[in-house]
Amino acid sequence: MNQLLIGLMGALLATNQPQAVSNLIQQNAGLSVNLPEANDPADKELEQLMAGDDAAMAEVDKWIRDNNAFTAQGAGESKAELNARIMARLDIVRKNYQDFVRRHPDFAPGYLAYASFLNNIGDEDAAKVQNEKALQLDPKNPAAWNNLGNYYGEYGPITNAFIYFAKAIELDHTEPVYYQNLAVMVYLYRTDAKSFYHLDEQQVFDKSLALYRQAMRLDPDNFPLATEYAENYYAIRPLRTNDALAAWTNTLQIAHNDIEREGVYIHLARVKMLAGRYAEARTQLDAVTNGMYSDLKGIVEHAITERESEATHSAAGGISTNDSGFSTNRFTAPTNTLPP
């Protein structure tokens, strides 16, 4: 089964389905297809083809959900049977794209759309070929540069990802996802970024955070983006307490519901704990009442107690604690534990 469908099935079987599906979407996001105005037959045909692509994906998604429900009741078809039905449905879409690019060999958006479909079904190498064809036809198309940046970000070389995302930004200063994608690469591959940009580690963090801020200026109400930006402060030593608190406060202001708000409260408590502001951290945790956060809340409460005890012993001449803080190995707070 292709990677997207394996991911979908895993997400739909997960305990926290909305979050699992959200994480899957984020992992497969970032590919872009910019269609021109539908003023000629090729434009209109591609628009219809992409609509059919979306409909097929929605149909497959429904099949998976329905089969999960039937399986839970002791019915449903086997994974092999479902997989065969899915692949047959998607093969129709693939052949439609192949036919389109054969008939319109000089139409770059067609290759971009085909590449997006291939990436969504897990055929990244084939998608790369189609994106490269699109780029050859239209070197000033930022979507093609961005899509290839995604490929190099996953398969390397990483420096190509830096180059391609930067080119996408150069060609379109208004698309937030291009800034976010480059910010992610710089943050995740700090060693490569240090060498490529001739920066030290703190400067690499600064570069990544600046790219995130530009993305947020272009998309100020994007809660997952603001969350991702704020989470990155956990890796910076020494902790930039004021900046981290400001980032989480901004995230809190654009939260859409109580679930998102209470998730941010946990982060605010954690940052205040890391800064030694234990009373404030406990007060922050008091605002968390949703049962879905009970485990995380308990972890943070326990960590606060431990740190307070260590601080007391240290002040009394006992053994001092390591300043490395509340290890992310003990508490992983990124998006896999909080709502989108």
Say yes or no to pLDDT of 2 above 70. no
Mean pLDDT along residues 207-216: 98
Q: Which residue has the tokens 């992983």?
A: 332
Say yes or no to pLDDT of 63 above 80. yes
Distance CA 9, CA 223 (A): 26
Q: Does 96 map to a domain? A: yes
Q: Does 169 map to a domain? A: no
User: What are the contacts of 316-319 at 24+ separation with CB within 8 A?
Assistant: none
Q: Does 293 map to a domain? A: no
Supply the pLDDT for residue 78.
86
Say yes or no to pLDDT of 332 above 70. no
Q: Does 19 map to a domain? A: yes
* Structure token pair of residue 72: 């839970």
Supply the pLDDT for residue 49.
95
Say yes or no to pLDDT of 26 above 60. no
Query: Closest by alpha carbon to 80, among 72, 90, 88?
Result: 88
Say yes or no to pLDDT of 88 above 70. yes
Supply the pLDDT for residue 6.
41
**How do residues 229-275 score in pLDDT, each as one tens digit?**
999 999 999 999 999 999 999 999 999 999 999 999 999 999 999 99
Mean pLDDT, rounded, of the chain: 85
Angle formed by the axes of helices 190-197 and 176-188, to 10°?
A: 100
Supply the pLDDT for residue 40.
78
Q: Does 15 map to a domain? A: yes
**How do residues 181-204 score in pLDDT, each as one tens digit?**
999 999 999 999 999 999 999 999
Q: Does 75 map to a domain? A: yes
Q: Count of domains in the chain?
A: 1
Q: Does 117 map to a domain? A: yes
Supply the pLDDT for residue 330.
29
| Domain housing 123 | 1-138
Phi, psi dihedrals of residue 251, rounded to the nearest 5°:
-60, -40
Mean pLDDT along residues 90-107: 96
Mean pLDDT along residues 163-179: 97
**How do residues 271-308 score in pLDDT, each as one tens digit?**
999 999 999 999 999 999 999 999 999 999 999 999 99
- The radius of gyration of the chain from alpha carbons, rounded to an integer in Å, stands at 23
